[in-house]
Amino acid sequence: MTSFRLIGVLVPILMAPLVLGQETSNKPVQPPLETSVCAVVDKPSAYNNKIVKVRGYVSGNFEYSILVDERCPDQGIWFAFADGSGPPWLTTTVRGKGTPGGKDSKGRATPPLPVRLIRDSSFEELKRYWAISAKGGACAEGPPPTFPPDCTTYRVTATFVGRIDGVSKEIHAAHQKQSSRDSVDWKGFGQMGLFDAQIVVQSVGQVVAEDESAIRKRLSKSQ
């Protein structure tokens, strides 16, 4: 009889961690904060260590990988995937001293929110258009790789979800006062720390590709 009573006491105790584990795993995930690249550029510290959803296109060259919004085309934030990679054209980058992570209410350092790259059909579509554009860009640099030549390049706009890493208010304010003649302090993100914010992308969606020659024609007519 004593053994049955002991089992009756132990079962609820042993089950408690399982119930707690289920409650933790079923806790709703906070949705990403919908914002814009322009807003992040304006106040990088306000979005630091937060998961956001932004829309834009990636521009750059062998040293740069920049997420740009058409509404503020002269500005941008550094772009990187959560696995550490970037666009196919990015080959040489000297990273800045910007450090991911945040601070709690007491000013103590907190680790960066974890992000993991989702390699779904939208991600593959983005990569496919980038690969086509890379071949199209090669037409201007030498003999076309195929015949008949396909020299089409695309501006690929997409919705990106990922973590923002931003510099402090003080560093951002100091950078706002700098001129092109001032030396680089390397305190930001991306190439030489020139960017006050970066996005570390975990997912891609709503991919739209537009022929860049059509964009140039549209811009020339509007001028």
CA–CA dist 101, 43 (Å, integer): 16
What are the start-end ranges of the H helices in 68-185?
121-138, 169-177
Residue 48: exposure state from Cβ atoms within 10 A (0-12, 13-18, ≥19): buried
Which band of pLDDT confidence, cut at 50, 70 and 90, is reported for residue 26? low
Predicted TM-score (pTM) of the model is 0.83
**pLDDT tens by residue, 113-148:** 999 999 999 999 999 999 999 888 777 666 655 555
Q: Is the pLDDT of residue 22 over 90?
A: no
223 pLDDT exceeds 50?
A: yes
Q: How far apart are CA 85 and CA 35, in angstroms?
A: 24
- Residue range 142-168, pLDDT digits in tens: 665 555 557 889 999 999 999 999 999
Report the C-alpha gap between 100 and 84 in whole angstroms.
13
| pLDDT surpassing 80 at residue 28 | no
d(CA 41, CA 76): 7
Q: Give the end-to-end CA distance of the chain in Å, rounded to a whole number.
A: 93
DSSP character for 189?
B
Angstrom distance (rounded) from CA 200 to CA 117: 9
